[in-house]
Structure 1
Amino acid sequence: MTTTLDIVDIHTHLWPPAWGPGGRYDKKTYGFSPEIHSKIINPDALVEEFSAAGVNLAVVTTTIESLFGPEGPVDLDLLPGVNDWLAQLAARNPSLAAFAVTDAFAGEAGAREAERAIAELGLSGLVIDSSRAGKFLADPAVRPTLDVAARHRVPVFVHPIAHPNADVLVAGAGAWGNSLGRGLMNGIAFLSVLGAGLLDELPDLHLIFATLGLGGIVQAARGGSFGRDAWRQASRPNIYFDTMGDDPRIVRTLVNFFGADRVLAGTDWPILAALSQEKLARSLSEAGLTDTEQRLVAGGNARRLLALRHARDAAAA
């Protein structure tokens, strides 16, 4: 491919100033290096790095786990301030979009903040934890928030969280044990959605999972109703996976299973560096993608998801 890719990174993170050094709230660093920690509290670092790399749009999230830790109470009264900050951030910079944060496991209370953030603030989607307090997405408490997303036709990023026995996994495998545990939690969330038939009940719900949960597709492929053929039908579930980097082997696996129109470029920035025009184009080519497929994965699919609500509004006008 010789044309410039329109790159949209669906998976980036920032923390509001109140959770940064010297901020109002005690904030865990999750073992981040000083460099990563300095970036995650600095929107300018994101904008500058992505501009230099040729990324056109970054979708920013702040997760429940990053604000309140992997377990324990969630102070819902603090979430409006976070979403207000995200909305202001996106409004100030055309190269940023933002997904609202809410505690999907808080039932109607979580749904109310989701509704406010989408309908009043105009945020582009939602980010929810893949699990909390032993519950996954099929739990009835989550349904009100998913209903909000489906009604407004905005995408929902289901973000990995730490495994309850993360310390044991890290002791056995080092830092990769933590990543694999997060992948397990994200994969279980993916399977819980399939098993509960949520996307049959909510056809306008679009869920994005992280590549860390890739193991879940092995189990999905083993089930008759979730086998490969089911993902090739026109009515296949509205489930997407991000690439979390640009490894051509991972991209090829995702595209083979889900189809090129269900794979989104993403990094988990600042954990991983920004995607670059040259390197992403080379990786997508090495993955065997056609020019059309490369454009879909790089940014076309993300653009389509972000525009769904506007297409609905235009049709209703």
Structure 2
Amino acid sequence: MIDFHNHFVGSAFAPMAGRGAPAARRAHFDAVNRNLASAPALVDSIAASGVAARVINTPLEFIQDPEGDTAPDTVTRINDQLAELVGRHPGRLHGLATVDVFSGEAGAREVVRAVRELGLRGVFAQAAKKDLLLDAPQARPALAAAASLGVPVFVHPITDARLATRLRRYGRPGVTLNRGTINAAALVALLESGTLDELPQLRIVVTTLAIGAILLVANLHGDKRLRRDAPETARRHVYIDTMGLDPVLIRAAVDTLGADHVIAGTDWPIFLEPRVPERLRQALDAAGLDAEEQRLVAAWNAGRLLGIA
């Protein structure tokens, strides 16, 4: 099994996952941040969880200041660090380049550098930045660079500040709804804006939190306001992970996108999933996937996307 959804910050930065979390969640995020900072913890987790390899990324959200800003050289330092770590653990770690996709041509240049010079296997992008989603003109150069290089773009949720104010009273479900809304909105923006038509080689991976957009693709097209060819367009361009290992959501994703567009992913170290291959197999069995479909989800789809299959 290849776990596509994993985070790493390293010792060069101070990870701040869960910043602003309530006191009841502080101990959890203290442990998360220790794991985010530790390369040995990451490497040890591969055997401990039973997976064959982890695909790692570094979210800017975990290291940016409260205004959402980072130092000018942050992205290049992140990607240099990822490439060095992956190089020390070939076959067990694969890296996705962190890119500020909303930075115009600078983002495109970093995509090219990270893929061609550093050997990273794809792009890790935040779903939004302030009021911008991925259909923004500022994002087009980086997305076009990824498409031209044939590497996937993993679109990761963020916490939207305005939604956070409205949903704070609902605790963890409110945070999940906030982040899922933004992840889904990024996908709808790509579909409705024509970005996927203009970049026919672009491949997008979203998390399970974006399942709302996947259900919209399945049920709200044609006369119901999503483009008529939304299902076909999504099947060409869109992949979704299995975070949470929920059989109902996996079944919905397979029915909409196909088993060849669903990818095993757990969100380590936010969630420390034990016995991952066994639990994935149980979830895929419960979702009604046959042996070939399970093989695709467990490893083959990720390997093909990353160019290692």
User: What TM-score do you get using the length of structure 2 for normalisation?
Assistant: 0.89
Aligned to 2:297: 297
Q: Post-superposition shift, 1:115?
A: 1.3
| Paired residue secondary structure (2:102) | helix
Aligned to 1:10: 4
Q: Post-superposition shift, 1:175?
A: 1.6
**Residues 77 and 259 (structure 1 numbering): CA distance in 2 closer, same or farther, change over 3 Å?**
same
Give the gaps of 5 or more residues in structure 1. Answer: 1-6, 22-26, 312-317
Aligned to 1:173: 170
Instruction: Please say if residues 57 and 96 of structure 1, whose CA atoms lie closer than 8 Å, have aligned partners that are also in contact.
Output: yes
Q: Post-superposition shift, 1:236?
A: 3.7
Q: Post-superposition shift, 1:67?
A: 2.2
Q: 2:94 aligns with which of 90, 94, 97?
A: 97
1:1-317 equivalences under 5 Å are 7-20=1-14, 27=16, 29-30=18-19, 31=21, 32-69=28-65, 71-94=67-90, 95-220=92-217, 221-224=219-222, 231=231, 236-274=235-273, 276-307=276-307
Aligned-pair identity (%) = 40
| Paired residue secondary structure (1:98) | strand
Aligned to 2:25: none
* Count of residue pairs the alignment pairs up: 297
Q: Post-superposition shift, 1:260?
A: 0.5
Query: 1:48-78: CA deviations, max 9, x gaps?
Result: 2221322011010001222215744343322
Instruction: Please say if residues 100 and 123 of structure 1, whose CA atoms lie closer than 8 Å, have aligned partners that are also in contact.
Output: yes
- Which runs of 4 or more aligned residues in structure 1 lie more than 6 Å from their structure 2 counterparts after TM superposition? none
In structure 1, distance between residues paired with 2:230 and 2:181: 23
In structure 1, distance between residues paired with 2:47 and 2:232: 36
In structure 2, distance between residues paired with 1:216 and 1:236: 13
Q: Post-superposition shift, 1:248?
A: 1.2
Matched letter for residue 288 of structure 1: G
**Residues 232 and 295 (structure 1 numbering): CA distance in 2 closer, same or farther, change over 3 Å?**
farther
Q: Post-superposition shift, 1:166?
A: 4.5
**Residues 106 and 232 (structure 1 numbering): CA distance in 2 closer, same or farther, change over 3 Å?**
closer
| Paired residue secondary structure (2:161) | coil
In structure 2, distance between residues paired with 1:54 and 1:257: 29
Instruction: Please say if residues 150 and 205 of structure 1, whose CA atoms lie closer than 8 Å, have aligned partners that are also in contact.
Output: yes
Give the gaps of 5 or more residues in structure 2. Answer: 22-27
| Paired residue secondary structure (1:106) | coil
| Paired residue secondary structure (2:130) | coil
User: What TM-score do you get using the length of structure 1 for normalisation?
Assistant: 0.87
In structure 2, distance between residues paired with 1:227 and 1:198: 13
Q: Post-superposition shift, 1:11?
A: 0.6
Q: Post-superposition shift, 1:232?
A: 5.7
Query: 1:97-146: CA deviations, max 9, x gaps?
Result: 11011111110111111211111111110101100020011111101001
> Which segment is superposed worse, 162-171 or 83-92?
162-171
Matched letter for residue 236 of structure 2: P
In structure 2, distance between residues paired with 1:271 and 1:232: 33
Query: 1:194-234: CA deviations, max 9, x gaps?
Result: 0012222112111101111111123333022968985368x
| Paired residue secondary structure (1:105) | coil
**Residues 303 and 99 (structure 1 numbering): CA distance in 2 closer, same or farther, change over 3 Å?**
same
Matched letter for residue 208 of structure 2: T
In structure 2, distance between residues paired with 1:288 and 1:200: 32
In structure 2, distance between residues paired with 1:238 and 1:168: 33
In structure 1, distance between residues paired with 2:65 and 2:135: 22
In structure 2, distance between residues paired with 1:68 and 1:115: 23
> Which segment is superposed worse, 275-284 or 95-104?
275-284
In structure 1, distance between residues paired with 2:228 and 2:55: 29
Matched letter for residue 111 of structure 2: A
In structure 1, distance between residues paired with 2:18 and 2:220: 38
| Paired residue secondary structure (1:18) | coil
Instruction: Please say if residues 255 and 263 of structure 1, whose CA atoms lie closer than 8 Å, have aligned partners that are also in contact.
Output: yes
| Paired residue secondary structure (1:97) | strand
